[in-house]
């Protein structure tokens, strides 16, 4: 940095006096203006889009409503002055604008200064950066598509600037429909933002919608074909769930089509995980983005500090190889949740079909995608989202929020909270997840409490300790719930297992003595596995974050093994069996457990009999006796929303669209939450997940009429008896304090 300062002509004494001031003021500017920013040939790209087969096919059918029959494409290629080309270029202008290197460098300088003021640190793993750098150097012309989680409105500016700072090519960023201001769109496009064409015009004119989709798809092909990078956010910010957004699916479909059409030989996919102690966005700005909301967020970043930020990059992989492996693994169709789960709910079947046959084989292997194969897009989205969340670090605020909300809801001493924080950090690291902090435990906990000061009350006691209680406010519980969501992927297996055990204990509670502890009740493996399968199939996969290559049988078996490993289940001998230490004569071969795999078939009565006799009791870990209830509480918000959605089925449904029904259901949940204080259930995204799940189960059905798609209750659940069975089935998994 000093070599740049030597060129500044300042007298020696003054230079030595103000050298530190100059370094602080100029280092960011010199650094950003030294970064290389690759530009694309705008004129060439526009010509290629206008002459692309996609656009020509749409124009040739006369689908441009602006010009009617005059827009029909002729055989001649020299139509640069015609109306259809102006329409195409107008759509391209809605999607993107030429990059401004000066504005990008100016933004980078401002962002680095702002990040330095708003956050304690911004962490990047050097090993992950080197891994990404090596992957990019193997084929410099290969485009890279970053598929990232989404936590804040600032992510679209933060990630590109950090990638430029680390020496990578600046990616184009796909922004969602939450940016509605035309002025802000125009500015962001100069920074490399991409936008879908205005939805208002697409709704008013279906023909324009087809043309705009063709133009956007052609632009993505030209972008990837030129070796430029792309950043796509897999989810919407502030959702409180890991729910895939519709925009991310559309973008991934365009990337896959570009690969199929030969725009690029291959595409490098890089899952990205973002972690914040606290996002700088104001609550009132979280559902729309405008110039005012951006300025308000910047003002907040200038006034307050928001802890730490961590960016993680998962293992890059080839999209072409993924498609080939997806074909080999024979993932084409899956048994619907209605066929799989509904007979069990209604008591028509007490077992699940062979879990290995949930996916039917494809008739032939294929290396290219077809337009009808939408499942590969869903699996790719889920695979990358799972990778991004798995590599994300857990922050101090997330851990403390989970402890306060799910373990110490009634209050806790600071000394006890520090002990639980240490225990939970060990459990997280033991499960191969990373944490984004280091230092003394008391400093870390106080740092988290400082950030959560609007959600808690602190009482200083005479003997030197501090008592912490939660504010009985809606905003406090919602904030804690959003922070604690980060822990669900870490403990998802144990949480499902704990809720399944709770369901089995609820069933057995009517048959045992009231004086008998739940730690003494015997649970057989067969029934426990059945409960785990039920809950697994009830929850959506983007909540479970289960990779698509993992079968339900393998997952449920891992749930059982993990609970045994961590002491949540203790294996017991059946009362009728001879004790294991007995040396009496018996046929050893009948009890041999390591039979050859060829002997394990459905008719092996000895094997099935032995498995059915495995019994368990609920265990308690020494470090945390309340670990079982803590795990049950992690899934409580989504399960409670499911239960209240089932209770809301008594209300009139017919004639309502999805949006109308979700709005009424949200109001119902708000009413119930204010009664019992379960404010964490007031999550509009979980409401949409619940409605989608009930449609997949066949409880809610769609009907088309009066030019709209409306919902109605299925005939099966028109009776109060079946509705009661459904509510009981869901309620059994909810842990009651």
Domain chopping of the chain, boundaries: 21-38+101-205+226-318, 330-352+374-391+495-512+519-548+561-574+613-736, 396-471
Dihedral of alpha carbons 373, 375, 381, 384, sign: negative
The answer to whether residues 96 and 189 touch, using CB atoms and an 8 Å cutoff, is: yes
Task: Determine whether 69 is exposed, middle or buried from the number of CB atoms within 10 Å of its CB (0-12, 13-18, 19+).
Answer: exposed
Average pLDDT over residues 701-720: 82
Percent of the chain with pLDDT over 90: 34
Whole-angstrom distance, CA of residue 176 vs CA of residue 244: 13
Average pLDDT over residues 573-578: 58
What is the reported pLDDT for 22?
A: 64
Residue 44 has pLDDT above 70, yes or no: yes
What is the reported pLDDT for 14?
A: 37
pTM of the model: 0.85
Helices and strands of the chain, counted as H and E runs: 30, 18
Integer CA distances (angstroms), 162 to 23, 25, 295, 310, 460, in order: 21, 19, 21, 11, 42
Convert the pLDDT of each residue in 158-170 to its tens digit. 999 999 988 899 9
Nearest CA to 110 out of 144, 51, 161 is that of 161
What is the reported pLDDT for 77?
A: 38
The answer to whether residues 216 and 254 touch, using CB atoms and an 8 Å cutoff, is: yes
The answer to whether residues 179 and 293 touch, using CB atoms and an 8 Å cutoff, is: no
Range ranked top by mean pLDDT from 367-376, 561-570, 703-712: 561-570
Give the architecture-level CATH label for domain 21-38+101-205+226-318: 3-Layer(aba) Sandwich (3.40)
Average per-residue pLDDT for the chain:
80
Convert the pLDDT of each residue in 580-608 to its tens digit. 555 444 444 444 433 344 444 444 444 44
Q: Comparing 583 with 237, which gets the higher pLDDT?
A: 237
Map residue 288 onto helix, strand or coil: coil
Average pLDDT over residues 349-365: 48
Convert the pLDDT of each residue in 486-510 to its tens digit. 999 999 999 999 999 999 988 877 6
Residue 149 pLDDT grade (very low, low, confident, very high; cuts 50, 70, 90): very high
Task: Determine whether 660 is exposed, middle or buried from the number of CB atoms within 10 Å of its CB (0-12, 13-18, 19+).
Answer: middle
What is the reported pLDDT for 416?
A: 94
Nearest CA to 539 out of 364, 730, 268 is that of 730
What is the reported pLDDT for 576?
A: 56
What is the reported pLDDT for 466?
A: 93
Residue 15 has pLDDT above 70, yes or no: no
Map residue 402 onto helix, strand or coil: helix
The strand pair at 317-318 and 569-572 is best described as: unpaired
- The DSSP 8-state label assigned to residue 710 in this structure reads E
Residue 357 pLDDT grade (very low, low, confident, very high; cuts 50, 70, 90): very low
Whole-angstrom distance, CA of residue 388 vs CA of residue 385: 5
Map residue 459 onto helix, strand or coil: strand
Residue 450 has pLDDT above 90, yes or no: yes
The answer to whether residues 276 and 395 touch, using CB atoms and an 8 Å cutoff, is: yes
Average pLDDT over residues 302-326: 90
**The CATH number, out of the four listed (1.10.10.1420, 3.20.20.70, 2.40.50.100, 1.20.1250.20), of the domain defined by the range 396-471:** 1.10.10.1420
What is the reported pLDDT for 18?
A: 47
């Amino acid at each position: 940095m000093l070599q740049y300062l030597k060129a500044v002509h300042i007298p020696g004494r003054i230079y030595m006096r103000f050298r530190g001031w100059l370094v602080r003021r100029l280092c960011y500017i010199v650094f950003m203006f030294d970064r290389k920013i690759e530009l694309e040939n705008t004129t060439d790209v526009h010509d290629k889009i206008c002459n692309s087969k996609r656009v020509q096919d749409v124009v040739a059918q006369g689908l441009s409503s602006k010009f009617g029959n005059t827009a029909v494409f002729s055989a001649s290629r020299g139509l640069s002055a015609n109306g259809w080309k102006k329409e195409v270029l107008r759509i391209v202008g809605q999607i993107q604008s030429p990059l401004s290197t000066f504005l990008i460098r100016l933004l980078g300088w401002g962002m680095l200064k702002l990040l330095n003021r708003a956050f304690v640190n911004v962490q990047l793993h050097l090993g992950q950066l080197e891994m990404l750098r090596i992957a990019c150097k193997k084929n410099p012309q290969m485009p890279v598509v970053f598929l990232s989680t989404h936590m804040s409105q600032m992510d679209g500016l933060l990630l590109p600037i950090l990638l430029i700072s680390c020496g990578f090519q600046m990616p184009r960023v796909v922004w969602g429909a939450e940016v509605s201001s035309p002025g802000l769109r125009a500015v962001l496009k100069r920074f490399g933002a991409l936008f879908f064409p205005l939805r208002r015009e697409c709704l008013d004119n279906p023909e324009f919608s087809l043309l705009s989709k063709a133009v956007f798809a052609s632009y993505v092909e030209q972008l990837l074909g030129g070796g430029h990078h792309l950043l796509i956010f897999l989810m919407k910010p502030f959702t409180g769930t890991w729910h895939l957004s519709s925009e991310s699916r559309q973008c991934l479909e365009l990337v896959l089509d570009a690969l199929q059409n030969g725009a690029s030989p291959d595409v490098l996919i890089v899952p990205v995980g973002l972690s914040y102690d606290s996002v700088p966005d104001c609550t009132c700005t979280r559902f729309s983005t405008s110039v005012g909301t951006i300025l308000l967020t910047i003002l907040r970043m200038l006034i307050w500090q928001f802890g730490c930020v961590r960016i993680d990059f998962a293992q890059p992989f080839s999209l072409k190889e993924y498609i080939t492996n997806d074909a080999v693994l024979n993932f084409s169709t899956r048994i619907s949740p209605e066929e799989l789960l509904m007979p069990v709910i209604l008591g028509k079947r007490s077992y699940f079909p062979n879990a290995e046959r949930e996916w039917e084989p494809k008739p032939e292997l294929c290396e290219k995608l077809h337009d009808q194969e939408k499942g590969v897009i869903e699996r790719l989205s889920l695979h990358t989202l799972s990778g991004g969340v798995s590599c994300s670090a857990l922050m101090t605020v997330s851990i403390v929020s989970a402890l306060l909300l799910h373990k110490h809801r009634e209050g806790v001493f600071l000394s006890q909270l520090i002990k639980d924080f240490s225990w939970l950090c060990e459990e997280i690291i033991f499960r191969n997840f990373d944490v984004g902090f280091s230092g003394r435990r008391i400093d870390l906990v106080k740092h988290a409490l400082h950030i959560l000061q609007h959600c808690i009350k602190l009482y200083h006691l005479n003997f030197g300790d501090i008592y912490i209680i939660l504010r009985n406010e809606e905003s406090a519980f919602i904030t804690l719930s959003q922070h604690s969501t980060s822990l669900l992927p870490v403990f998802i297996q144990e949480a499902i297992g704990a809720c399944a055990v709770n369901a089995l204990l609820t069933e057995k509670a009517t048959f045992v003595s009231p004086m008998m502890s739940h730690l003494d009740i015997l649970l057989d493996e067969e029934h426990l596995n059945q409960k785990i399968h039920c809950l697994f199939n009830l929850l959506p996969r983007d909540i479970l974050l289960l990779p698509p290559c993992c079968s339900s049988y393998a997952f449920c078996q891992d749930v059982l093994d993990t609970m045994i490993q961590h002491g949540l289940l203790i294996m017991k001998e059946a009362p009728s069996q001879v004790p294991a230490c007995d040396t009496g004569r018996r046929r050893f071969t009948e009890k041999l457990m390591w039979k050859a795999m060829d002997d394990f078939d459905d008719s092996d009565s000895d094997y099935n009999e032995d498995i059915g006799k495995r019994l368990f009791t609920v265990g308690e870990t020494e470090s945390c006796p309340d670990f079982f209830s803590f795990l049950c509480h992690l899934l409580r918000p989504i399960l409670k929303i499911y239960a209240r959605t089932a209770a809301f089925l008594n209300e009139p449904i017919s004639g309502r669209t999805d949006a109308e029904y979700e709005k009424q259901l949200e109001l119902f949940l708000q009413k119930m939450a204010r009664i019992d204080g379960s404010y964490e259930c007031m999550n509009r995204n979980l409401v949409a997940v619940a409605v989608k799940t009930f449609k997949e189960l066949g409880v809610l059905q769609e009907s088309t009429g009066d030019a709209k798609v409306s919902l109605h209750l299925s005939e099966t659940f028109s009776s109060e008896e079946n509705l009661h069975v459904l509510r009981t089935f869901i309620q059994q998994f909810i842990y009651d304090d």
